[in-house]
A and B are shown apart, each in its own frame.
Chain A
């Protein structure tokens, strides 16, 4: 059984709440609970009573370009879920909170710092037989004024990644070892998502996202275990300038959350272009141990 969140030694424990805490705050007007899943039917099948849905494709992404919603879009989303700048958004979802941390990360791009993740996600809530509902709540629309999206603090782009690797600054590839080694272009039991080349960004460490999670209940490991993995075994330091990436930026937002909030890394960014961008770009360097080759960057 996992320790209580406040006993786990996290640097910013207040970003994580337990399923019990969420149940105690179901009717708290200052809290908006939001579910974010990969499976588009899960929320409609049932959800935490009063929870709204934030769909990662429909609500968080630009419908045309590969980018996130803009300021107006974000304001519209927050108005729709009845949130103000003072509302605390508590996120949870399937897949060990991949999409919840992804939504959390997008909230930070717009400076909505009043946000939390429900430890263990949807599966823990369901396994504990906590209440669920099929009723889709409606909240009065709010006034919400957001700043322009900040693409600098928590987000990395391909040119920055290229500079990063040339400076030999730490990159963390959170995909499976098979993807990292170039033996497959997608995670195990998952279809290929359109990368032409396999392997990883040269110099990237491979620390799969799942290392941070207790397999028995999906909660985050405590800080002692996390420090052992990220600091002791992989020689990262909380003062490092770190970029995390995966396939499309969802698993790496999970690791971004762990590094920034649970371990207190002050300069960590998520490269959301990730392997579906890097593995398709012309002339970028790639390491692929499975074919024993390394393609150097063009001069």
Chain B
């Protein structure tokens, strides 16, 4: 199995080593750092193709070219009570932006359990996995495009 990107792996390791109450507190604090997509990337109404399928917190994902062929990831969470989605978006934006596309594309969606714990409802966990999957899909899409460009 491919190793997780370093920064992302460190966040997961930190969360896993906290006791449940401290982990929840850290996740809540992380939600407070969430910044919605800047207007320079997307404005409301957000395009439906950027919406995360199956996420009832109404999350959206964008990817913009970053340094050295990487991507920067941006998110919006339209449900003001979608705290978990905001937390995950903040973690993904901070720890995966600028990471090689191969590494992002290889992240398993079930990392959400390492972040939030096993007590997530099935609905909530699948919605959050949808968020991770959309980031992976963006990385994959750009990866394939750059490979096609290089081979032509």
Contacts and interface: CB of A to CB of B under 8 A. Distances in A.
Interface of A: 38-42, 44-45, 55-58, 94, 122-123, 126, 186, 189-194
B54 A57 contact: no
Given A58-B119, A94-B81, A44 B25 contact: yes
Of A42, A122, A123, A191, the most chain B CB neighbours within 10 A belong to A191
Interface of B: 24-25, 27-28, 31, 54-58, 80-84, 87, 116-117, 119-124, 126-127, 129-130
B82 A39 contact: yes
Contacts of A40: 24, 84, 116-117, 119-120, 124
B21 to A, nearest CB: 8
Contact of A189 (B56, B116, B117, B121): B56
A45 B31 contact: yes
A40 to B, nearest CB: 6
Nearest to B127: A191
* Most chain A beta-carbon neighbours within 10 Å: one of B27, B56, B116: B56
A58 B21 CA distance: 13
A256 B130 CA distance: 31
18 contacts: A39-B83, A40-B24, A40-B84, A40-B116, A40-B117, A41-B28, A44-B25, A44-B28, A58-B119, A186-B123, A189-B58, A190-B54, A190-B56, A191-B123, A191-B126, A191-B129, A191-B130, A193-B122
B39 to A, nearest CB: 25
B54 A41 contact: no
> Main secondary structure on chain A at its contact with chain B?
loop
Contacts of B82: 39
A56 B124 CA distance: 13
A8 to B, nearest CB: 26
B24 A41 contact: yes
Contacts of A193: 122-123, 126
A39 to B, nearest CB: 5
A192 B58 contact: no
A186 B124 CA distance: 13
Contact of B81 (A44, A122, A190, A192): A122
A123 B81 CA distance: 8
Contacts of B83: 39, 41-42, 45
A123 B54 CA distance: 22
B126 A41 contact: no
A192 B126 contact: yes
A245 B87 CA distance: 32
Contacts of B55: 189
Contacts of A123: 80-81
A39 B122 contact: no
In the complex, the 4 A-B pairs of residues with the closest C-beta atoms, listed nearest first: A191-B126, A191-B54, A41-B83, A44-B24
Nearest to B117: A40
Contacts of B126: 191-193
Contacts of A55: 119
Contacts of A190: 54, 56, 123, 127
Contacts of B130: 191
A94 B84 CA distance: 13
A189 B55 CA distance: 6
Contact of A194 (B54, B58, B80, B122): B122
A140 B120 CA distance: 29
Given A40-B24, A41-B27, A189-B54, 18 more contacts: A38-B123, A39-B57, A39-B84, A40-B124, A45-B28, A57-B119, A94-B81, A126-B80, A189-B56, A189-B58, A190-B56, A190-B123, A190-B127, A191-B54, A191-B127, A192-B54, A193-B123, A193-B126
Contacts of A39: 57, 81-84, 124
A105 B80 CA distance: 27
Contacts of B123: 38, 186, 190-191, 193
Output the residue of B28, B31, B116, B130 with the most chain A CB within 10 A. B28
A126 B80 CA distance: 10
Contacts of A186: 54, 123
